[in-house]
């Protein structure tokens, strides 16, 4: 496993812009190391980016993704992490079902 990834490598891998990764950093979702002006991303940062992208595909907002990531950073068992995540996913699924019904009615 590699120790670090560059911003260019990750933008190519995930098909996002450098501005997107910087935005995720500004939002506190990822925290790359810095060597001078160069951002160096650890494998854990790469994994978080993958999870952020999955959350975006599922329709979660950045705030919701931040909440979910924060739950994973807490010690296991606190705040019913799994139940909270499942509830958020179910809530989102219901919103999507409603949108589908609305589209089918038009």
Average pLDDT of span 61-76: 81
Say whether pLDDT at 103 is over 90: yes
What percentage of the chain carries pLDDT values higher than 70?
92
Average pLDDT, the chain: 88
Average pLDDT of span 13-26: 96
What is the per-residue pLDDT for 68? 82
Which CATH number covers residue 59? 1.10.1660.10
The total domain count for the chain is 1
Per the structure, the complete domain to which residue 31 belongs is given by 5-105
What is the per-residue pLDDT for 80? 66
Burial 30-63 (b: 16+ CB within 10 A, else e): bebeeeeeebebbeebbebbeebbebeeeebeee
Average pLDDT of span 39-48: 94
């Amino acid at each position: 496993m590699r120790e670090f990834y560059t911003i260019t490598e990750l933008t190519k891998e995930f098909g996002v812009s450098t501005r997107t990764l910087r935005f995720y950093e500004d939002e506190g979702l990822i925290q790359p190391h810095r060597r001078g002006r160069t951002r160096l991303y650890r494998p854990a940062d790469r994994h978080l980016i993958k999870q952020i992208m999955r959350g975006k595909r599922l329709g979660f907002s950045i705030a919701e993704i931040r909440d979910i990531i924060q739950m994973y950073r807490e010690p296991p068992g606190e705040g019913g992490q799994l139940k909270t995540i499942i509830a958020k996913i179910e809530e989102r699924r219901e919103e999507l079902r409603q949108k589908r019904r609305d589209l089918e009615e038009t």
